[in-house]
Amino acid sequence: MVEQKKCQVLVIGAGPGGYVAAIRAGQLGLSTIIVEGEKAGGTCLIRGCIPSKAMINAAHKLHDLSAMAKEGGHMGISIPGPAELNMEGLVAWKDGIVKRLNKGVENLLKRAGAELINGWAEFIDAKTCKVSSADGDIRIEAENVILANGSVPTELPFMPFGGDVISSREALDLKEVPDDLVVVGGGYIGLELGIAFAHLGSNVSVLEAMDTVLPIFDKELRRPVELNLKRLGVKVHTGVFAKGIDDEGNVQYAAKDEQENIKTLKADKVLVTVGRRPNNNGWGLEEMGIKTSEHGFVIVDEKCATNMRGVYCIGDLAERGAMLAHNASSQGEMVAEIIAGNIREWDPVAVPAIVFTEPEIVEVGLSPEQASAEGHPVIVGKFPLAANGRALTMEAEKTGGFIRVVARDDDHRILGVQAVGSHVSELSGEFTLAIEMGALLEDVAGTIHAHPTMSEAFHEAVLATLGHAIHIT
């Protein structure tokens, strides 16, 4: 017999968008059910952002310890022999972090009064779905629906996932470090994991179809990352297309203007990171009558509402906003409040984008080129991390990093901030707040920044934009 349930809010997907929406809806007193096919936390927490950052951190520690094992050591510290990696131990440590966060999300949902159902939802119509769970089938009727189904890795038709061809998900669960790793796709996911595995001891090669890796960033921001790739011995092949796998499991590729000249790269594992696509198949999207774009994203308005009344879509599945976890969370909180009767719309002034390579890249707001293209009279200031005391103590200056500020020349309103360097991701909140609040250069210049911190570099970059930085000439 099918169990029957009714609720005011039904959330599909317990990722960073869905679980935030469900928690906020519960806080607002709405009867809420959230359905998740795997573990609460979604791609970001369970198999993406969090586990990848854990692995990146461990890889950096191993790399640092390796320097201390060399003759003479490093920082006055030496260890008697090379550091050894137990990959299964690393994966177990990473899984422990994921498990703690997963349980934390489950407890937060419970305390907010949202009911979590583990199972796969399939929609019958726009507001009715059947959930197949371990305890049997459940039919749920909802007054409002929030779709937070997320996205999945894009698969190459001539190089499908399976065996030694893996996505980022499988890369985070490898029991051994591959001797030779070929990364197909030189975007942020490929380079984050490629650099991590290079630190862990893999011979890493990157194949990128564009003329440069990280093509969404300008040359000045990319340069420190490109130099570090070279220092690590990562072989980067740009302007090339992967063609497939040969009988020995190696990767075949060719330059875009020499398609007949097939070359081969030795590979124990092939990590395909050519993007992500909306998770729009197999759960009844067609039955809901919801409009989608030509690329399969659900079309929504400024309130994340679809064409069906009472049905909303947030996060990677929605056409509005970039595929970023913090976008999804912001949208989820907003939609819950809209359903509760609050007047809200999703129109952020600035959304930070971060690449956790070594060095890290942060971009918020407009670049100098974008600002000029939009007709702003632009002034730009830059401050090198090599002139920041705290950066020196953490060796963050070794990457050739900097902070760059873009502002209007006439009224000094800050339009954008870009940074590259070790640990700069932790400064992204201040960058975003300045732009979101319409701060002027003088607002930041007049704010006392604690010493010694890397945040002083932002202060100095603003002073440089005004023409009177203190710690550079």
Q: Would residue 136 count as lying in a domain?
A: yes
> Is there a single domain that holds both residue 398 and residue 453?
yes
Q: Which of 339, 362, 385 is the last residue of a domain?
A: 339
Indicate if 471 belongs to the active site: no
Q: Would residue 75 count as lying in a domain?
A: no
d(CA 229, CA 195): 7
On the question of pLDDT at 199 being above 90, the answer is: yes
How many domains does the chain fold into?
Answer: 3
Q: Would residue 122 count as lying in a domain?
A: yes
Please write the tens of the pLDDT for every residue from 212-225.
Answer: 999 999 999 999 99
What pLDDT band is residue 46 in, cutting at 50, 70 and 90? Answer: confident
What CATH number did the domain enclosing 36 receive?
3.50.50.60
d(CA 304, CA 424): 31
> Is there a single domain that holds both residue 117 and residue 20?
yes
- Tally helices (H) and strands (E) across the chain: 14, 21
Average pLDDT over residues 427-432: 97
Q: Would residue 80 count as lying in a domain?
A: no
What pLDDT band is residue 334 in, cutting at 50, 70 and 90? Answer: very high
Give the sign of the dihedral formed by CA 217, CA 218, CA 221, CA 226: positive
> Is there a single domain that holds both residue 288 and residue 261?
no
Q: How many CA atoms lie within 13 A of 1 on its CB side?
A: 3
What pLDDT band is residue 67 in, cutting at 50, 70 and 90? Answer: confident
> Is there a single domain that holds both residue 179 and residue 221?
yes
What pLDDT band is residue 473 in, cutting at 50, 70 and 90? Answer: confident
> Is there a single domain that holds both residue 253 and residue 386?
no
Q: Which of 219, 240, 274 is the last residue of a domain?
A: 274
Region of residue 175 (left: phi > 0; alpha: psi -120 to 50; beta: else): alpha
pLDDT of residue 68: 83
> Is there a single domain that holds both residue 113 and residue 194?
no
72-90 b/e (C-beta count within 10 Å ≥ 16 → b): eeeeeeeeeeeeebeeeeb
Return the number of other C-beta atoms located less than 10 Å from residue 160's C-beta.
Answer: 11
> Is there a single domain that holds both residue 265 and residue 286?
no
pLDDT of residue 79: 85
Q: Would residue 11 count as lying in a domain?
A: yes
pLDDT of residue 72: 81
pLDDT of residue 75: 86
Return the number of other C-beta atoms located less than 10 Å from residue 370's C-beta.
Answer: 15
The boundaries of the domain holding residue 361 are 353-466
What CATH number did the domain enclosing 410 receive?
3.30.390.30
Q: Would residue 55 count as lying in a domain?
A: no
> Is there a single domain that holds both residue 142 and residue 13?
yes
Using an 8 Å Cβ cutoff, are 212 and 300 in contact?
no
> Is there a single domain that holds both residue 146 and residue 284?
yes
Instruction: Write the DSSP assignment of 267-306 as a string of letters.
Output: -SEEEE-S-EEE--SSS-HHHHT--B-TTSPBP--TT-B-
Determine which one of 451, 459, 468, 471 is catalytic: 451
* Three-class SS state of 236: strand
Percentage of the chain lying above the pLDDT 90 cut: 87
pLDDT of residue 298: 98
pLDDT of residue 9: 98
> Is there a single domain that holds both residue 11 and residue 139?
yes
Q: Would residue 471 count as lying in a domain?
A: no
> Is there a single domain that holds both residue 37 and residue 172?
no
Q: Which of 300, 317, 339 is the last residue of a domain?
A: 339
> Is there a single domain that holds both residue 393 and residue 455?
yes
Please write the tens of the pLDDT for every residue from 347-380.
Answer: 999 999 999 999 999 999 999 999 999 999 999 9
Please write the tens of the pLDDT for every residue from 279-324.
Answer: 999 999 999 999 999 999 999 999 999 999 999 999 999 999 899 9
Please write the tens of the pLDDT for every residue from 229-269.
Answer: 999 999 999 999 999 999 898 999 999 888 889 999 999 99
Closest CA to 152 of 316, 323, 47, 277: 277
Q: Would residue 420 count as lying in a domain?
A: yes
pLDDT of residue 120: 94
